[in-house]
Structure 1
Amino acid sequence: MPTVNAMFRRPFAEQLAYFRQKQNVPSERWDDLWRDEHDKAFVVAGAAKADLLADLRAAVDDAIANGQSLGEFRRQFKGIVAKRGWTGWTGEGTKAGNAWRTRVIYKTNMDTSYMAGRWQQMTDPDVMRARPYWRYVHNTIEHPRLLHKSWDGLVLAAGHPWFHAHWPPNGWGCNCGVETMSRRQLERSGRSGPDSAPNDGTVEHVSDRTGEVAEVPKGVQPGWDYAPGKSAAETAVAARLNRLDTVEAGIARRNVNDLVDSDLFARFFAGEVQGEFPIAVVPPVEREMLGAESLIVLLSQSSLAAHIERHPEIGLADYRRVQALLDRGAVYRREGDDGRLIYLTVDGVTYRAALKRTKDGQRNYFLTLFRSKTDSPPPGAERLR
């Protein structure tokens, strides 16, 4: 893992794209936004004026895009503060306070954007197939956080839920990182498989702003228990796949088919990967018929786990047939139900699937799949195709 200073000197496309998709959000306090809300917003505590925030953002963008040093950022910060007449900010008035505040702004944005870019790179399906393990790397030499140090060298399956709350940085000034590993590298390290995820417990955090109580993993500072870039990457993937153009829909279909056929989906099916998984693409010409507002059908881990418990006869191979069901199945609509029922017989087995639109109308969740004893729809159902 490169040192933190080296990170800052080597910006990359995913890092810059993550930072530039943020919106400027005025704020009074550092905790006005919480956890992955920072994936969508650029904030500087106390910076409430649009022109001030825009100038500060430009300085950070310059640092990321051009590898500007902390010293150069401090020079720009001084000019911005004088130009915009910003006073009353925390750290103002002393050399030490100015040094501390500029370092916090600079390092927080550089670290989170770097690790957000790394998340996008490391969760690429091709990368996860070739390098299916992630190793935690502790980098702080002086005044190390003891739990962070204890995680050094920890190897878990790529995308393991533990990383969702322990993806660096795990607090102000955290220098930790994560690197990928191939199967051969894992074996060379003397392991026959990944480690067990540590269970260090949690601590209770009470917000002095809202009074809300949250459980935070020990070793992770409140508000840092998320993976920078994870929610932004999921949104970006959904946006890329959710094109209405026929050509792009074809590309989306190939991408989703590759994902469903991959080991990543097998791990999702086994419960090793949490969240939601793109499982099929609805052809654009059929979106209205199927009651779908987008192309992508998502399967949530919670729905999958509950459904497997109710229908243990359904396996991984069955779920990999979902695209065929949507393409070739008979589609029915029940009165008073926005969803669609789809029947299809494959190799002598009749499947019934249910496709239902989410309340926001933006995404679809593939909710149920099971083997049906009959291909007859419920009484009163209207056939659409």
Structure 2
Amino acid sequence: MATAQLVPLPPADAIRFLEARGRQLSSTFAWQDAYAADHSSMFTVAKSAGFDVLQDIFNGLAKALKDGRTIRDFSRELTPLLQAKGWWGRQLVRDPLTEEIRPAQLGSLRRLETIFNVNMRVSYAAGHWAGFERNKKSRPFLRYVTMHDDHVRPAHARRHNLVLPVDHPYWNKWACPNGFGCRCTMQSLSQREIDQLISEGENLIFEPPEDETKTWVNKRTGEIRDIPIGIDPGWDYNPGRVGANVAINEALAEKTAGAPFELLEPLVQERVRSDAFARFLEKPEGSMPVMPIPPETAKALGTEARVAILSQATMEKQLRHHPEMTREDYLQLPSIGANPTMVFQDGQNTFVLVKLADGRWRYVAAKTTKTGKAAFVTSFRFASDDNIRRLLNRPSVKIIIDRREE
């Protein structure tokens, strides 16, 4: 009698996340150029510009993740291709920020190992976090687990067996991986499983250790951050949650691609009313789809984008410059896009406005990318009638939609 062969299924959530990042390939000079959560919304390899290797490296990672291949398989197949394209060894490169020309390490077996390990761990973290969110009603707690050996970093060892709710703010920074080479994992638990672990003598911790921080300066951008000791610079965020959100947003984009315009508002509205968006407003990480783009507007702009995105950088700017905008205001963005009172174009910017009962306008500025494949919200605020009249008096303004007399 033949024995059935049980073949492990590919990690679907992790694959979706990596594929979502692969839709935005970006060459950077240094890892600090795309910091923390930015890495989770794009695929980038430092010092790859000019060598046409970014797609090759991504394809190798995607194949390894889908087929369960090892670092040895990944390196063996990719090395000759990278060498043939000249991306190998130490070479003189120009820093686009300083114009300085200096020697730098391009491809090597060690770099490929780092690229493989980082991307695999972050992809799996995103896959795991998607599961945590799906199952948090029945398994509402997360447990921090180390490898419990001599190679565990002291700060990580102090957090071994830490148990907190899935939505606890402590996971904003301490959700692993917490650095290069971090092997820690997270486990979702029900109350019953917690009780079982305690009965078995497991020493669980329910209060997080107090953080000690160190000040770190990003020499590429000048940004100053206070990072908990035990977390590497660039890892002081929740890579799993940000990654899971990237995959969800990508899935929403795919769902809206062929959907009638009338269905876009409820699809986007569901995302904007989610817990993930509420967290995004408080602590921006990654990006969020927030506003359908009317067909007339898309046609006038020559864009394929169906939904405008609110990025981390813009949300951070909003919090600094427009703190008067409340969550209730942001919840109006889907309906502003679906039912604008007026849309007008000024150069590459499109302004969408909705009149309020008190005489003010909700004013949204959005801009398409050069390729026309994406659109981003660049500003959201209130405007007065005088503000609007001045804008409409500009000679370059072109009105696309005007429903003021309807």
Normalised by the size of structure 2, how large is the TM-score? 0.59
Aligned position for 1:5: none
Candidates 109, 115, 120, aligned match of 1:110: 120
Candidates 207, 211, 221, aligned match of 1:199: 211
Secondary structure of 1:363 counterpart: strand
Letter in 1 for 2:15: L
Maintained 8 Å contact 2:141/2:164: yes
Letter in 2 for 1:362: A
Compared CA separation, residues 155 and 380, structure 1 to 2 (3 A): same
Aligned position for 2:182: 174
- 1:251-310 Cα shifts (integer Å, max 9, x gaps): 5433322234444455556x3776655444344346579999753364965467568854
> CA offset at residue 138 of structure 1?
2.5
Compared CA separation, residues 140 and 359, structure 1 to 2 (3 A): farther
Candidates 217, 223, 227, aligned match of 2:228: 217
Aligned position for 1:331: 342
Maintained 8 Å contact 2:75/2:112: yes
How many residue pairs match? The answer is 350
> CA offset at residue 367 of structure 1?
1.4
Compared CA separation, residues 278 and 81, structure 1 to 2 (3 A): closer
Aligned position for 2:365: 356
Maintained 8 Å contact 1:342/1:354: yes
Letter in 1 for 2:402: L
Q: Does 1:255 align with 2:256?
A: no
Compared CA separation, residues 354 and 77, structure 1 to 2 (3 A): closer
Q: Distance in 1 between matches of 2:154 and 2:237?
A: 20
Secondary structure of 1:41 counterpart: coil
Aligned position for 1:3: none
Maintained 8 Å contact 1:29/1:46: no
Compared CA separation, residues 212 and 328, structure 1 to 2 (3 A): closer
Compared CA separation, residues 102 and 251, structure 1 to 2 (3 A): same
Aligned position for 2:402: 384
> CA offset at residue 229 of structure 1?
6.6
> CA offset at residue 325 of structure 1?
5.3
Q: Distance in 1 between matches of 2:263 and 2:294?
A: 12
Matches within 5 A, 1:76-87: none
Secondary structure of 1:204 counterpart: strand
Secondary structure of 1:355 counterpart: strand
Maintained 8 Å contact 1:138/1:148: yes
Compared CA separation, residues 308 and 275, structure 1 to 2 (3 A): farther
Compared CA separation, residues 364 and 110, structure 1 to 2 (3 A): closer
Compared CA separation, residues 315 and 329, structure 1 to 2 (3 A): same
Task: Please provide the CA RMSD for this pair.
Answer: 5.6
> CA offset at residue 129 of structure 1?
6.8
> CA offset at residue 354 of structure 1?
1.5
Secondary structure of 2:259 counterpart: helix
Matches within 5 A, 1:55-134: 60-69=61-70, 104=114, 106-122=116-132, 134=142
Maintained 8 Å contact 1:129/1:264: no
Unaligned runs of 5+ in 1: 1-8, 90-97
Letter in 2 for 1:295: V
Aligned position for 1:93: none
Letter in 2 for 1:353: R
Bigger CA drift: 295-304 or 78-87? 78-87
Letter in 1 for 2:128: R
Maintained 8 Å contact 1:133/1:158: yes
Secondary structure of 1:64 counterpart: helix
- 1:36-60 Cα shifts (integer Å, max 9, x gaps): 5655336498999668x88776664
Secondary structure of 1:173 counterpart: coil
Q: Distance in 1 between matches of 2:141 and 2:269?
A: 23
Maintained 8 Å contact 1:280/1:322: yes
Candidates 142, 158, 169, aligned match of 1:150: 158
Letter in 2 for 1:343: K
Letter in 2 for 1:364: V
Matches within 5 A, 1:217-256: 217-228=228-239, 237-238=248-249, 240-241=251-252, 247=259, 249-256=261-268
Compared CA separation, residues 11 and 362, structure 1 to 2 (3 A): same
Aligned position for 2:380: 367
Q: Distance in 2 between matches of 1:379 and 1:102?
A: 54
> CA offset at residue 110 of structure 1?
2.7
> CA offset at residue 12 of structure 1?
0.9
> CA offset at residue 319 of structure 1?
5.2
Q: Distance in 2 between matches of 1:86 and 1:322?
A: 45
Q: Distance in 2 between matches of 1:335 and 1:139?
A: 57
The percentage of aligned residue pairs carrying the same residue is 23
> CA offset at residue 179 of structure 1?
3.8
Unaligned runs of 5+ in 2: 1-7, 91-107, 199-205, 393-400
Letter in 2 for 1:118: H
Letter in 1 for 2:127: G
> CA offset at residue 201 of structure 1?
0.9
> CA offset at residue 153 of structure 1?
4.0
Secondary structure of 1:247 counterpart: coil
Letter in 1 for 2:13: E
Aligned position for 2:397: none
Compared CA separation, residues 187 and 280, structure 1 to 2 (3 A): farther
Q: Distance in 1 between matches of 2:323 and 2:269?
A: 25
Aligned position for 2:146: 138
Q: Distance in 2 between matches of 1:221 and 1:179?
A: 22
Aligned position for 2:292: 281
Aligned position for 1:41: 43
